[in-house]
Amino acid sequence: MADATAHLDGNCLAGPLSEILAVEPTTAWWRRPECARSGPLAELHVYGPEPGLTACCPGCTYIALRLVRDGGYVWLTVGG
């Protein structure tokens, strides 16, 4: 069944994030003050892969983080 809002789950961020953060990313918890929602990284809705992975809050679709690969660099932006 086709899903117009198809997205990946937050687990796809685990690889790239683990290169940056010294924690197991899928067990990290995020919290968006805008909607007071929180949960494990895996619950984020992730869109990508180009121009980078964008992870949105499943509650309000606010961008929680953005991860862009550029050559040998990984750019991580937290928040919109």
Of 57, 65, 66, 67, which one interacts with Zn ion (CB under 5 A)?
Answer: 57
Place of tokens 């862009």: 68
Q: What value does the CA radius of gyration of the chain take, rounded to a whole number of Å?
A: 12
Binding-site member from 59, 69, 74, 76 for Zn ion (CB under 5 A): 59
Cβ neighbours of 25 (radius 10 Å): 19
Q: How many residues touch Zn ion (CB under 5 A)?
A: 7
Least Cβ distance, residue 9 to Zn ion (angstroms): 16
31 is a site residue for Zn ion (CB under 5 A): no
66 counts as binding Zn ion under rule CB under 5 A: no
Structure tokens at 80: 């919109």
Instruction: Identify the burial level of 44 via C-beta atoms within 10 angstroms of its C-beta, where 0-12 means exposed, 13-18 middle and 19 or more buried.
Output: buried
Q: Does 35 bind Zn ion (CB under 5 A)?
A: yes
Binding site for Zn ion (CB under 5 A): 32, 35, 37, 57, 59-60, 62
